[in-house]
Amino acid sequence: MKSSALREVAEGVVPKSLISHVPRGFEVVGDIAIVNIPRQLENYRFELAEALLSRFKGRMRIVVRRVSPARDPNRVHSYEVLAGSGGLETIHRESGCTFKVDLSKVFFTSRLQYERIRVARAVRRGEVVVNMFAGVGPFSIVIAKLVQDVKVYSIDINPDAYKLMVENIRLNKVEDKVIPILGDAGEAIDEHGLRGVADRVLMPSPEHAFNYLAKAVEALKPQGFIHYYDVANPKVSLYDHLNLRVREGLRGLEVRWVMRGVRAIRSVAPLKVYACADLEVERATSRP
């Protein structure tokens, strides 16, 4: 949420000399506010969070901060509760969809809302989509809600994310369009007969996508699209970086590919942005 609210509440809590360190925005997932506390405001974090909570009484239940980058292989973050109570399970609504999430068990961010819509708008009626890193299902479900006659195979390795994805599919009434699969994305493509079926493959996990690029190609029909996610340095040309990474990831495979677009999605740390490359891919088998 881009808002001056945090700055406003900070005025009663933080010395004037430190106000410029108060972040301009904070993230909202359901009734959970996730704030960033810079080093300079460490001693004021609880009062700041209490003030924010009382400002949004009735809308926010709890204020937390992420305590470390998610080192967990399933990208689950650790959180410190700064104000409020009741745990990290919540119902988040975006783009006409409802997602049940539990931040203590799964990865979820509301900051990808625009990216989910952008990808969903690229999907055409009747497509088969494989989402290799689906989490609780937000990309898959937004696509299913927006596009007619789609089939989205939605894979995640985290059993908690899988359980919530199953629930979210039901909550959003897209059981006929989204097929949840629990397991490793690479193995699932082999074991669930997903080789050569997809018009489009989504790889929305910047930390894992590179190692699975070849597998994504295997899931594609002779021609199709891959939405490839990676981590980039904002000081380096995004196009050059992604081009190099994709070339490396696809080295040795008989494919032709074109990068149709690149996009910086969000900054996650100093000198670290999440980015996406939209690839159009043609496998050699499609050539006579």
Ligand X SMILES: C[S@@+](CC[C@H](N)C(=O)[O-])C[C@H]1O[C@@H](n2cnc3c(N)ncnc32)[C@H](O)[C@@H]1O
Residue 190 to residue 71: CA distance in whole angstroms: 28
As measured in angstroms, the least distance from the Cβ of 83 to ligand X is 25
Residue closer to ligand X by CB (options 33, 112) is 112
**Nearer to ligand X among residue 227 and residue 241 (C-beta):** 227
Q: Would you state the torsion angle of the CA atoms of residues 111, 113, 119, 121, taken in this order, to the nearest 10 degrees?
A: -150
SS3 content of the chain, % helix, strand, coil (to 5): 35, 35, 35
Nearest distance from C-beta of residue 5 to ligand X, angstroms? 25
Residue 65 or 227 having the CB closest to ligand X? 227
Least distance to ligand X, CB of residue 44, Å: 31
Q: How many residues does the chain have?
A: 288
Nearer to ligand X, 80 or 184 (CB): 184
Q: Which residues bind ligand X (CB under 6 A)?
A: 74-75, 107-108, 112, 133-135, 138-139, 155-158, 161, 184-185, 204-205, 208
Which amino acid, one-letter code, is at 200? Answer: R
Q: With 0-12 CB in 10 A as exposed, 13-18 as middle and 19+ as buried, what is 57? A: exposed
Q: Least distance from C-beta 73 to ligand X, angstroms?
A: 6
Instruction: Tell me which DSSP letter residue 126 carries.
Output: T
Which residue of this chain has its Cβ atom nearest to ligand X in the complex?
A: 135
